[in-house]
Structure 1
């Protein structure tokens, strides 16, 4: 009976530190989100819910929220489509090629995020590498707009967060017992059937974990959307930044930050329920 309490007692110092460091600043900012910002004067003492209801009533903010979620969904899907074959190759190849592929996958993480974003600007600009190549070979007559829109953001964020998806999938694939796949092969199951009936279902927890990680990181990213999206193509993170740093509208920025946090927590909670139902169904 005392073992659970001993665990709580041992973990309580760390929990207290985490609460003080992470939860206290959030609670301090929460009342600010219910005040009104008066241009030229600052935050007023009046209480209001308009900062939160604005997301639901104003089409401009609804579009930004929808754009952010769409961007997260597309980047998550692309990282999965690109990352699963790579992770499968890394898990099934020889140790030498596995080490080589792992190094190539994690190498972009050693580079500064700003440097990688500026690299994509060089590649995707109107007179960048991609457009110049397409015009040189005669496929297009004028540059294609690849920056300051959803296309540029998706390309840049997919490149940045692909390693996270690959590493999560690699761990899940390596945990699959090879005996299960070999047993299916001895029963005359083809490679495609083995993949869709054994490999893919057994890696579902890794797929779910990688998808949650990439989606949350994507919708909360600031640097890359700021550089590749420009000042006009806004997502939730850049909107929050502008409210705080440019407009000095702390009540609106705080409320938008809490809305983004609630969206993130709702996604994690929903994914957790899906994971529990899946594990219960396969148990």
Structure 2
């Protein structure tokens, strides 16, 4: 009992800070999401569920939600496919090579997010570096549209959030005991079978942690979707920004913010169960 009280006492300052600075402001915004907004007049005292029901009944909002989920899962999948081989190589690389690769992975995170997004604009624009090179080499006759669509966002955001995936995977891969892999080899399992039967299932916690971080960051990102997606290709984060600061429809913006939070929590809970069953079966 005394141990539990000591533990509660140790974490209580952090819990108090989280409650006051994060949970309380969000809960204070909850009544706002149920208020009615009248264009040209502002918010009324009438309570309504329309701000939430429109997310399911209005095709425009359904498309925004679907587009956000596709973006989140797409970026997470690309980061996992690119990050796992890199993390696997880093986990078993020599100290000098590992240090160099770690610095290369971390270095982009030291740059401002706006600068990195502008870099991708210079590369992906209709008359950017990539299109100009392809046209100069005679590969294409006209520029390929690589901005203001899903493809441009997937490319730019996968580059931005790839370090988070790699940094989660490296410790998980290093934690796999070498004797377990040796035992698989002793039982006549080849490298490929050892990887899929032993290494991959045992790194499920790292895959889960990296995937959750990348997914949540992707669906809540504002700067990069705003710059690479423009005003035409909106996701939930950019729509929330527009509702609050451009149209001044605060109730709709608050409802969108709560829905985005619920989507993130639902995906986190579902993925935790799926990965837990996968790891248990493995």
TM-score class, shorter-chain normalisation, is over 0.9
In the alignment, is the contact (CA less than 8 A) between 2:35 and 2:46 conserved in 1? yes
Distance 2:276 2:193 in 1: 26
Give the CA deviation at 1:245.
Answer: 0.6
Partner of 2:15: 15
The secondary structure found in structure 1 opposite 2:248 is coil
Cα-to-partner distance string for 1:4-46 (whole Å, 9 max, x where unaligned): 2332233223212210111111111110100011122211100
Partner of 1:182: 182
List alignment gaps of at least 5 residues for structure 1: none
Partner of 1:62: 62
Give the CA deviation at 1:194.
Answer: 1.5
The secondary structure found in structure 2 opposite 1:16 is helix
Distance 1:126 1:69 in 2: 26
Partner of 1:114: 114
Please give the residue correspondences for 1:132-281 in structure 2 after superposition, counting only pairs within 5 Å: 132-281=132-281
Distance 2:203 2:2 in 1: 37
Give the CA deviation at 1:139.
Answer: 1.5
In the alignment, is the contact (CA less than 8 A) between 2:38 and 2:44 conserved in 1? yes
The secondary structure found in structure 1 opposite 2:44 is strand
Partner of 2:40: 40
Partner of 1:83: 83
The secondary structure found in structure 1 opposite 2:33 is helix
Give the CA deviation at 1:183.
Answer: 2.6
Give the CA deviation at 1:141.
Answer: 0.6
List alignment gaps of at least 5 residues for structure 2: none
Count of aligned pairs? 282
Mean alpha-carbon deviation: is it higher for 77-86 or for 193-202?
A: 193-202
The secondary structure found in structure 1 opposite 2:167 is helix
Give the CA deviation at 1:171.
Answer: 1.1
Distance 1:276 1:93 in 2: 29
Give the CA deviation at 1:244.
Answer: 0.4
TM-score by length of structure 1 reads 0.96
Distance 1:136 1:64 in 2: 37
Cα-to-partner distance string for 1:80-135 (whole Å, 9 max, x where unaligned): 11111100110111111111111101110000000000000000000111111111
Structure 1 166/66 Cα, relative in aligned 2: closer, same or farther at 3 Å? same
Distance 2:275 2:184 in 1: 25
The secondary structure found in structure 2 opposite 1:37 is strand
Partner of 2:125: 125
Partner of 2:52: 52
